[in-house]
Amino acid sequence: MQLAQRLDRISEPQTIKMAKLSRELKAQGMDVIDLSLGEPDFRTPAHICAAAEKAIEAGYTKYTPVAGIPELRNAVCTKLKNDNQLEYTPDQIVVSTGAKQSLANAILALIDPGEEAIIPTPYWVTYGAQVSFAEGVPVYVPCGIENDYKISPEQLEAAITDKTRLFIFSSPCNPTGSVYTREELQALVSVFEKHPHIYIISDEIYEYINYTGKHESIAQFDTIKDRVVLVNGFSKGYAMTGWRLGYIAARKEIAAACEKIQSQFTSGTNSIAQRAAVAALLEDNTPSMDMVKAFRERKDYVIRSLAKIPGIRINNPSGAFYAFPDISAFLGKKDGEDVMNTSEDIAMFLLHKGLVTVVDGAAFGSPNNIRISFATSMDNLIEAIKRIEYALGLLQ
C-alpha cells in the first residue's frame, strides 16, 4: 500500500517504542522495571480533579473557543506574571492539546520549506521530527557533557546562516536535565540581537521541576521577547499527562497563526481539562512542590549510584526527571558473541539481561548516552540500579 511521502520524514519516537516494548514484555509475565517513561508517577492533585468533576456536573462538555476558554487564557497570563514577571494579554495565549501540539503549531506557523531550525543536541525527540514534517531542515549542534550539554554563544553564532529561521531548546532540558542560568541565556540573547530573522521556541514544560532554585525564561529579555514563543503545559508540573493540555505565549501575530492552524486540525482542547487547568494555575500548588521534593531525593540517589559504576560518566541534572549517563566506555564491549555497537544495543541488552527499560541516547541525537527516567518509586529505582550495574558488569 502506498502512503504519503511525508511519512518518510518522521518515525515513531524511540521513547514511545521502548514504553510499548516494555508493556509487551510485562504482559508476557516478565518482571521489567520501566525507566523509559517521561511522566510523573504521581496522581493529579485532588483539587484539580475536583474542578473537572464539577465541570462535568455543570454540563461543561461542549466545544470551546479554538485558542482556549477565556478563564484559562487569563489564568495563564496571571501565572506568567506571578511566576515569570512576564506581561502577556489573553490574545497572546493559545491553549492546545498538549505542549506537543503547541510546538507543532508554532513550527508550522514559522518555518517554510528549506528553512533551518537550530537545535542544540541532546534534544527532545520531537523537535527535529516536527521541523522535518514542516519541510524545514533541522540543524543539530552537538553540546557535550563538559559544558553540561548546553550550547555556547560561539556555537550558536557558528550555526547561524541566512536560512536560519528558528532556534528550539528546552530548559530544564529533556533529556539532560540542564538548566540555563540567566547569564547563559543573556549570552545567547546577545547573539540573537544580531540576527533579527531568527525566532526562538523556548520549551519550558519542566519549569517547576527545578532543583537549582529559580526558573529563568529567555522571554524575560525585552530585546528579543517579541521573537520568543514560550511553550509550557500541565503534563509534568501538575502530573497531568493524560489530560492533554499545553499552551504558547507569543506576539499576537504568532498566536493568531497558531490558532488558525489549530482551527483546522483539532479546535479547542477538552473543555473539562481546561476547567481543571484553571484550578491548577490559580489554586494551591503544594502537591506539585511535594512531588518535586520526591524527585529531588530520587535524583540524588540515582546520580550518586550511577556515578559509582565504573565506566559511567554523568552530569548532575538541575531539573526534569531524567539521568543521562554517558555509556561510551561500554561501546565495543561484548556479551558473549554480541557486540555493543550502539547505545540502542546497550538499551536492548539492559532490557533483555537486566530487565530494565531505558531509552537509547541516539533518540535524542546523543549516541554515547542512555536516558533513565527517575519518575518511579524509590524501591523500583534501587532495584533497577542494581540490575543495571549487574548487567553492565557482564560486558567484556
Residues that bind ligand PMP (CB under 6 A): 38, 98-100, 124, 170, 174, 203, 205, 233, 235, 241, 246
Beta bridge partners of 372: 323
Q: With respect to ligand PMP, which residue has the nearer C-beta, 221 or 321? A: 321
- Rounded CA-CA distance 7/389 in Å is 39
Question: In the bound complex, what is the minimum distance in angstroms from residue 44's beta carbon to ligand PMP?
Answer: 13
Question: In the bound complex, what is the minimum distance in angstroms from residue 222's beta carbon to ligand PMP?
Answer: 25
Torsion sign (Cα): 298, 388, 311, 173: negative
Q: Which three cell numbers stand for residue 329?
A: 566506555
Three state DSSP letters for 8-60: HHCCCCHHHHHHHHHHHHHHCCCCCEECCCCCCCCCCCHHHHHHHHHHHHCCC
Question: In the bound complex, what is the minimum distance in angstroms from residue 369's beta carbon to ligand PMP?
Answer: 16
Q: With respect to ligand PMP, which residue has the nearer C-beta, 246 or 325? A: 246
Q: With respect to ligand PMP, which residue has the nearer C-beta, 233 or 325? A: 233
Question: In the bound complex, what is the minimum distance in angstroms from residue 205's beta carbon to ligand PMP?
Answer: 4
Q: With respect to ligand PMP, which residue has the nearer C-beta, 192 or 243? A: 243
Q: With respect to ligand PMP, which residue has the nearer C-beta, 175 or 354? A: 175
| Burial readout 164-200 (b: 16 or more C-beta within 10 A, e: otherwise) | bbbbbbbbbbbbbbbbbeeebbebbbebbeebeebbb
Question: In the bound complex, what is the minimum distance in angstroms from residue 39's beta carbon to ligand PMP?
Answer: 7
Q: With respect to ligand PMP, which residue has the nearer C-beta, 184 or 203? A: 203
Cβ pair 351, 21 in contact under 8 A: yes
Question: In the bound complex, what is the minimum distance in angstroms from residue 321's beta carbon to ligand PMP?
Answer: 10
- Rounded CA-CA distance 147/187 in Å is 14
Give the DSSP letter of residue 198. Answer: -
- Rounded CA-CA distance 213/200 in Å is 24
Euclidean distance between the first and the last CA atom of the chain, given in angstroms as a whole number: 45
Cβ pair 212, 51 in contact under 8 A: no
HSE-up (13 A, CA, CB side) for residue 225: 14
- Which alpha helices (H) appear in 142-205, and where do they start and end? 153-159, 182-193
Question: In the bound complex, what is the minimum distance in angstroms from residue 174's beta carbon to ligand PMP?
Answer: 4
Question: In the bound complex, what is the minimum distance in angstroms from residue 237's beta carbon to ligand PMP?
Answer: 10
Q: With respect to ligand PMP, which residue has the nearer C-beta, 117 or 340? A: 117
Give me the residue whose beta carbon is nearest to ligand PMP. 98
Q: With respect to ligand PMP, which residue has the nearer C-beta, 221 or 247? A: 247
Residue 98's region, left for phi above 0, alpha for psi from -120 to 50, else beta, is: left
Q: With respect to ligand PMP, which residue has the nearer C-beta, 37 or 257? A: 37
- Rounded CA-CA distance 31/29 in Å is 6
Question: In the bound complex, what is the minimum distance in angstroms from residue 309's beta carbon to ligand PMP?
Answer: 25
- Rounded CA-CA distance 281/383 in Å is 36
